[in-house]
Amino acid sequence: MSRQLRDMLGDVAGGHQAAFDDAHRGDDTSLYVRAIAPRRRVRRAAPLVTAAAVALILVVGVLGFGPQRSTVEPAHTAPTPSASDEASAPERTTTGQQPLPGQPGWAVDGLVLQPDAVAAAAAASLDGALADSPDCALLDSIGRLENASAEGWVEATHVGAFMEATGATNDVRVAQFDSADSADAYVDLAAATARGCGRDLQATSLDVEVSRVGLTGVPGAALRVIVTDGELAADDGRWMLWLHVDGTDALAVVVEPGATDRAVAIIGDWVREVGA
């Protein structure tokens, strides 16, 4: 029977193999190369980013706890980005040669990227009602740039996260869509999902705000989703998703509750330096 079943399965698989091969005679390897090459570069850089972060922690540790301790000032004060419909992305304040976004030592507002840090699900910090709504639950995966359509297929690369002293993060992912139309469709999906989430939460203490935001001096446009829990204080009750798209390139920043919103600085830095 094993052989008989093997033959049956072979017939099914062979039929689909032949049908697929007939329909795909062209060489579309270049599409794969375009999708894969940037991801391999980011993954190769990841251990270097970790090493740089560890080295920085050691240096800070020595400065902070060594015998010649002096007052340690932060590298520079974190600017609070504007939350208007036209946000202003600060220019890179370059003093000497700074690492490029995604490269080892990339710093935004004085925080160095931690490649292994990841944002938790929104429902983990805010009201559990988020998890009960399918649309709200989907926001987490949109923040990870998942669930793209078959034609606009995309796999996101997790760049890392900027972690505050509280442990809350600005989590960064990037992806490249097959076409600008697919990328725009994904933004539309994100907006529709966020609005659906808002409708599901009408009877709760949670509120959802969805807006399109242009970043001054930065090509492309961003969708911003803010989920606020009225029962929690300020930053602790606010989860944000920034989804920036420029042509086929997408970048998502998830700002966890308790973290300062650094998305505009992150997006501005990335798009100017990497997307250029």
- Contact positions toward another protein, by CB under 8 A? 1-2, 4-6, 8-21, 23-24, 27-29, 32-33, 35-36, 39-40, 43-44, 134, 138, 141, 146-153, 155, 157, 181-182, 185-186, 188-189, 192-193
Cβ distance to another protein smaller for residue 91 or 151: 151
Least Å distance between CB 102 and another protein?
14
Least Å distance between CB 14 and another protein?
6
Least Å distance between CB 221 and another protein?
18
Least Å distance between CB 156 and another protein?
11
How far is residue 202 CA from its own chain's centroid? 27
| Sign of the CA dihedral running 235, 236, 239, 242 | positive
Cβ distance to another protein smaller for residue 145 or 263: 145
| Sign of the CA dihedral running 95, 97, 99, 105 | negative
Cβ distance to another protein smaller for residue 17 or 80: 17
User: Is 49 in contact with 113 (CB distance < 8 Å)?
Assistant: yes
Cβ distance to another protein smaller for residue 111 or 197: 197
Least Å distance between CB 171 and another protein?
19
Q: Strand pairing partners for 242?
A: 224, 253
Distance CA 149, CA 41 (A): 25
Please list, in sequence order, all residues whose beta carbon lies within 8 angstroms of the beta carbon of residue 134, skipping any fewer than 6 positions away.
200
User: Is 173 in contact with 145 (CB distance < 8 Å)?
Assistant: yes
Distance CA 266, CA 119 (A): 15
Cβ distance to another protein smaller for residue 83 or 189: 189
